[in-house]
Amino acid sequence: MGEANEFWIIANIYKNAVDYYFIAKYQRKFAQLFIMIVKKTLTKEQAYQKLKHYCAYQDRCHSEVKTKAYLLGMRKTDVEELTSRLIEEGCLHEERFARSFAGGKFRMKQWGRNKIRAWLKKKQVSSYCIAAALDEIDDSKYKETLHKLAVKKWNSIKGAGTNLFIKMTKTRDFLILKGYEPGLIANEIKALAEKQKGAG
């Protein structure tokens, strides 16, 4: 197999996880990696045991498991068969993964629903599982977290030249990057602006 073909196989494996520019830049290294993988190809049962352990360590989505299977040297038909087997035996459960991912990102990193949704889509999680995962986030805690983030960011914007418009813009941009909905953000900023005007 030529180096160019090896490169595109690797590119296909990583198409949703790695930037194509990065792959092109390191074409030879990826080709060498592929050759190394092929030389260490496992039997289907050996690959299954490794994938089972991979899923037991933490919840995984289907795309992660398939990528891992390809890296173990499995062919497409084997990858699909192994994935189905893991699902049937309860080792691989995408809704469980989505719920765990959403809950963890909200609790640990205070991500909003939009950012969580975008990352789950990037991992090719189904719309049904994404919706189920987002429904798990308690609405009152969600709004409370948004409020705390807004207040903290608002109060951190200081210095010469700082005015109400600057505080509103920077706070809004920060909360959008965190993944919160524009409507909820607008309500928070309005309340903070009115409070500052009243204090002034």
pLDDT given at position 1: 46
pLDDT given at position 26: 57
Half-sphere exposure of 117 (CA within 13 A, CB side): 13
1-5, 59-63, 120-124, 125-129: least confidently modelled range? 1-5
How do the domains of the chain map onto residue ranges?
A: 3-88, 94-135, 139-199
pLDDT given at position 115: 97
Identity of the amino acid at 103: G
Under 8 Å between Cβ of 61 and 98? yes
pLDDT in tens, 26-79: 566 665 565 555 555 688 999 999 999 999 999 999 999 999 998 888 889 999
Under 8 Å between Cβ of 185 and 175? yes
pLDDT in tens, 151-173: 999 999 998 888 999 999 999 99
pLDDT greater than 60 at residue 147:
yes
User: pTM of the full predicted structure?
Assistant: 0.76
Q: How is residue 66 written in tokens?
A: 């398939």
Under 8 Å between Cβ of 90 and 52? no
Q: Residue 21: pLDDT band by 50, 70, 90 thresholds?
A: very low
pLDDT given at position 195: 87
pLDDT in tens, 90-115: 999 999 999 999 999 999 999 999 99
Q: Residue 200: pLDDT band by 50, 70, 90 thresholds?
A: low
Can you tell me the distance from the alpha carbon of 127 to that of 166, in angstroms, rounded to the nearest whole number? 37
DSSP state of 41: P
pLDDT in tens, 2-19: 445 555 555 555 444 444
| Sequence-ordered list of residues with C-beta below 8 angstroms from that of 155, at least 6 positions apart, any chain | none
Q: How is residue 69 written in tokens?
A: 């299977």
pLDDT given at position 17: 44
Alpha carbon 193 to its chain's center: 33
